[in-house]
């Protein structure tokens, strides 16, 4: 089975925090890394570690929130992957506080890939390795696939009020991710942003919450919004 298929299988039937943790564990098993975490860097109140492969990963990940700097924050801000091959390299001067703190934990390779929800860069998948060096090409492709999949647990957790997705035994993260990539969903999000003056990620959350509340698919709801048959309210 290809890496991306194994990642999809790893989160089968899981949502929210459980899916985030399992995705991180799968990264450690499938990729040549030692620890993985998913963090949300959305706004001040929501920022933090959402999932991890274990206690060490959580500690590494939370360091950058404590210190206010690090590759995960940069990858979200700059909207690109940040791949550090060796934190011990004296030329590596980007994070004066983060660098010695991570070296104290014997971590030398850090690879941060942004997580994107509704076109917004809302978080990152962070991979940590004791050994320095670049990620293998196949591992990087796997990491990018994992970051793509992480959109669903991140979306689950961005929506603090919504428990439907997490408790619904029929809600499948993979199937949902497929529906959310449809063009009409993006267009409906744009319409909601115009109508309700909310950010795109929040518009998606509203759209999704309505779909869960009415038992219909997000694509049906999106079409109704585009055809002006349905108007959602911001709460």
The yes or no reply on residue 118 touching another protein (CB under 8 A) is yes
Q: Quick check: 186 binds another protein (CB under 8 A)?
A: yes
Tell me the backbone φ, ψ of residue 165, rounded to 5 degrees: -65, -40
Residue 149 near residue 15 (C-beta atoms within 8 A): no
Please tell me the distance from the alpha carbon of residue 232 to that of residue 4, in angstroms, as a whole number.
35
Kindly state the smallest distance separating residue 43's Cβ from another protein, in Å: 13
- Answer for which of 62, 199, 220, 224 binds another protein (CB under 8 A) is 199
CB count within 10 Å of CB 78 equals 11
Q: Which helix (H) or strand (E) holds 180?
A: helix 173-180
Asked if 217 touches another protein (CB under 8 A), the answer is no
Task: Say if CB 78 and CB 70 are below 8 A apart.
Answer: no
Residue 8 or 101 with smaller CB distance to another protein: 8
What part of residues 11-70 is at the interface with another protein (CB under 8 A)?
none
Kindly state the DSSP code that residue 87 receives in the 8-state scheme.
T
Q: Contact between 77 and another protein (CB under 8 A)?
A: no
The only residue of 66, 106, 138, 167 in contact with another protein, by rule CB under 8 A = 138
Which of helix, strand or coil describes residue 122?
A: strand
Q: Which is nearer to another protein, 60 or 111 (CB)?
A: 111
Give the three-class secondary structure for 117. Answer: strand
Cβ 179 vs Cβ 225: under 8 Å: no
Binding another protein (rule: CB under 8 A), the pick from 59, 85, 144, 166 is 144
Interface with another protein (CB under 8 A), residue from 145, 157, 162, 202: 145
List of residues contacting another protein (CB under 8 A):
2, 4, 8, 79-81, 113, 116, 118-120, 135, 137-138, 140-141, 144-145, 147-149, 177-178, 181-183, 186-195, 197, 199-200, 226
């Amino acid at each position: 089975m290809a890496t991306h298929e194994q990642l999809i299988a790893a989160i089968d039937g899981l949502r929210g925090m459980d899916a985030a943790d399992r995705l991180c564990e799968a990264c450690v098993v499938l990729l040549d890394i030692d620890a993985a975490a998913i963090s949300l860097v959305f706004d001040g109140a929501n920022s933090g570690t959402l999932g991890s492969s274990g206690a060490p990963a959580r500690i590494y990940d939370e360091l950058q929130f404590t210190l206010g700097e690090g590759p995960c924050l940069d990858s979200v801000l700059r909207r690109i992957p940040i791949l550090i091959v060796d934190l011990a390299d004296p030329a590596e001067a980007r994070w004066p506080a983060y660098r010695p703190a991570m070296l104290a934990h014997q971590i030398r390779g850090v690879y941060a890939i942004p997580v994107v929800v509704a076109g917004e860069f809302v978080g990152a998948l962070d991979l940590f390795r004791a050994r320095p060096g670049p990620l293998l090409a196949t591992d990087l492709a796997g990491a990018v696939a994992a970051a793509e999949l992480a959109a669903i647990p991140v979306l689950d957790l961005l929506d603090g009020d919504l428990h439907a997705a997490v408790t619904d035994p029929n809600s499948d993260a993979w199937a949902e991710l497929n529906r959310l990539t449809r063009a009409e969903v993006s267009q409906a999000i744009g319409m909601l942003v115009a109508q309700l003056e909310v950010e795109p990620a929040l518009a998606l959350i509203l759209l999704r919450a309505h779909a869960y509340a009415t038992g219909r698919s997000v694509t049906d709801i999106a079409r109704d919004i585009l055809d002006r048959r349905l108007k959602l309210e911001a709460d």
